[in-house]
């Protein structure tokens, strides 16, 4: 089976695994133990990883708070960033195409009396910066707009939005999970206060992530997970030392290989798109062609039923939306203006570090077979409506 679901998760790079292994067994210390070598060794490894992670995002090590993943990092940003907001600020601005890790905590705040503006996007998937400007007021506590979308791969104008947020005195958070290690991420250039990251999206282990907290911003942050005082009191709990070491190693590898890899992967993605247009026909690219992540392609197939498409796809691992909500039509595609049928008849194809040209050719051939078969067996009315060629 050809794995084209790298937005859901990525395999751990062998170099990352190798770096992690000693920290499960002989170097098993608790990074908070101050009285012996076991603790010192674990702490040193964590601090080395903190530098590696910070370096890939252009932060300083002190600005990195390790968490159990991006969902928790985002919770710290949104629940934490609103917990100690001044009384006059009870408003959040976000976007309809955000990951559920952002939308759910915002909706939870809405249920407890906050005003939440979920801005729509254009058919390109991009939010209108003027609309963001109009939405942010002196009553806004936090603005959260993702850097790279996990379904359609488009890159939002985060730096422009951060300027607008700061002009009104609001905190700026970005979910930069899909961008890290794929495209250049520099928190200073982006001008954000808070940014969420996850190791398992860049060939690191699952269950570890980080929140970038700009120097000084920690004073504006409550800590939803307390106890033990780890991570400067911002996130309590014994550190996941092997996971953190793996996150660090994954960032180090990505820093060295990202540029060459982005070039290679985007060429393969373009080849896949070309082949799908030639061999399948009746395809549309969901979201703007650029700016987009190098490994992302989101394709709508006219005249097929979404569920049969996923069932028929025996040789390619892909999904029609985010892994967490794969049975429903994607809220991201619906926000682009697709109807339920169109959203379900779409595939998110995510290429990765070990995707080969041969795999792309086989995946395109398989998709052509599956789609042709589904179109042959589809009711004539649906084919006519779709105007499909085969
Ligand atoms: C995967 C993902 C998350 C969640 O990350 P976890 O570490 O799995 O909690 C959040 N946002 C985006 C854009 C993602 O792709």
Pull the structure tokens for residue 112: 């407890």
Pull the structure tokens for residue 199: 């190791």
Which residues are CB-neighbours of 71 under 8 A, at least 6 positions away?
101, 209
- pLDDT tens string 56-96: 999 999 999 999 999 999 999 999 999 999 999 999 999 99
Residues with CB under 6 A from ligand 1: 69-71, 99, 101, 146, 150, 175, 177-178, 198, 201, 209
pLDDT, position 259: 97
* Spans of the chain below 70 pLDDT: 322-327, 379-390
Helical packing angle, 70-83 and 100-111, nearest 10°: 30
pLDDT, position 306: 83
Instruction: Using the structure block, give the residue that is written with the tokens 């060295």.
Output: 256
pLDDT, position 389: 44
For ligand 1, the distance from its centroid to the CA atom of residue 70, given in whole angstroms, is 5
pLDDT, position 390: 39
For ligand 1, the distance from its centroid to the CA atom of residue 67, given in whole angstroms, is 12
Pull the structure tokens for residue 302: 């006219």
Half-sphere exposure of 313 (CA within 13 A, CB side): 25
Contact 268, 360 (CB under 8 A): yes
* Angle (nearest 5°) at CA 66 between 8 and 104: 50
pLDDT, position 381: 52
State which of 71, 106, 174, 321 you would mutate to test the pocket of ligand 1, scoring each by most atoms of that ligand within 8 A of its C-beta.
Answer: 71
Atom number in ligand 1 closest to CA 146 = 13
Fold (topology level) of 258-381: 3.90.1150
Longest dimension (CA), the chain: 75
pLDDT, position 320: 81
The torsion defined by the Cα of 198, 57, 214 and 196, in degrees rounded to 10, comes to -20
State which of 106, 150, 181 you would mutate to test the pocket of ligand 1, scoring each by most atoms of that ligand within 8 A of its C-beta.
Answer: 150
Atom number in ligand 1 closest to CA 201 = 1
Contact 39, 32 (CB under 8 A): yes
Count of other CB atoms within 10 angstroms of residue 376:
9
For ligand 1, the distance from its centroid to the CA atom of residue 35, given in whole angstroms, is 36
pTM: 0.95
In DSSP notation, 57-125 reads HT--GGGEEEESSHHHHHHHHHHHHHHT--TT--EEEEETTS-HHHHHHHHHHHHTT-EEEEE---TTS
Q: Nearest residue CA, atom 1 of ligand 1? A: 8
For ligand 1, the distance from its centroid to the CA atom of residue 173, given in whole angstroms, is 14
Assess whether 324 carries a catalytic annotation: yes
Q: Select from 262, 289, 265 the least CA-distant residue to 277.
A: 289
pLDDT, position 292: 96
Catalytic residue among 323, 324, 357, 385: 324
Instruction: Using the structure block, give the residue that is written with the tokens 């934490």.
Output: 80
Which residues are CB-neighbours of 19 under 8 A, at least 6 positions away?
245, 246, 248, 249
d(CA 89, CA 26): 50
Contact 373, 312 (CB under 8 A): yes
For the chain, what are the domain ranges? 12-254, 258-381
- Out of 3.40.640.10, 3.10.20.30, 3.40.50.720, 3.40.50.1380, the CATH code matching 12-254 is 3.40.640.10
Strand 346-350's sheet: what is its strand order?
A: 283-285, 296-301, 346-350
Helices marked H in 170-240: 187-190
Atom number in ligand 1 closest to CA 7 = 15
């Amino acid at each position: 089976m050809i794995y084209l679901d790298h937005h859901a998760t990525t395999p751990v790079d062998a170099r990352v695994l190798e770096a992690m292994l000693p920290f499960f067994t002989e170097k098993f210390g608790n990074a908070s133990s101050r009285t012996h070598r076991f603790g010192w060794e674990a702490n040193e490894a964590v601090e080395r990883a903190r530098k590696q992670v910070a370096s890939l995002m252009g932060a300083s090590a002190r600005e990195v708070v390790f968490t159990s993943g991006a969902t928790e990092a985002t919770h710290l940003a949104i629940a934490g960033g609103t917990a100690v907001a001044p009384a006059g600020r009870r408003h959040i601005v976000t976007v309809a195409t955000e990951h559920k890790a952002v939308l759910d905590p915002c909706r939870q705040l809405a249920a407890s009396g906050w005003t939440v503006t979920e801005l729509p996007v254009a058919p390109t998937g991009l939010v209108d910066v003027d609309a963001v400007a109009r939405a942010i007021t002196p009553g806004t506590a936090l603005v959260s707009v993702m850097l790279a979308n996990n379904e359609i791969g488009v890159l939002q104008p985060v730096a422009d939005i951060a300027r607008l947020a700061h002009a009104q005195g609001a905190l700026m958070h970005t979910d930069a999970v899909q961008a890290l290690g794929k495209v250049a991420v520099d928190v200073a250039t982006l001008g954000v206060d808070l940014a969420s990251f996850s190791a398992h999206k860049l060939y690191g282990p699952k269950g570890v992530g980080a929140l970038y907290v700009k120097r000084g911003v920690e004073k504006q942050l409550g800590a939803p997970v307390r106890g033990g005082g780890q991570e400067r009191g911002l996130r309590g709990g014994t550190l996941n030392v092997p996971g953190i070491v793996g996150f660090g190693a994954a960032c180090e590898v990505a820093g060295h290989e990202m540029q060459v890899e982005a070039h290679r992967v985007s060429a393969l993605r373009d080849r896949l798109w070309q082949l799908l247009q030639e061999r399948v026909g009746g395809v549309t690219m969901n979201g703007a062609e650029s700016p987009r992540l190098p490994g992302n392609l989101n394709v709508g197939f006219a005249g097929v039923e979404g569920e049969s498409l996923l069932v028929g796809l025996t040789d390619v691992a892909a999904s029609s939306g985010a892994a967490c909500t794969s049975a429903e039509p994607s809220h991201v595609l619906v926000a682009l203006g697709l109807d339920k049928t169109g959203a379900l008849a779409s595939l998110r194809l995510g290429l990765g570090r070990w995707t080969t040209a041969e795999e792309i050719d086989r995946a395109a051939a398989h998709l052509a077979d599956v789609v042709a078969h589904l179109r042959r067996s589809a009711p004539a009315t649906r084919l006519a409506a779709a105007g499909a060629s085969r």
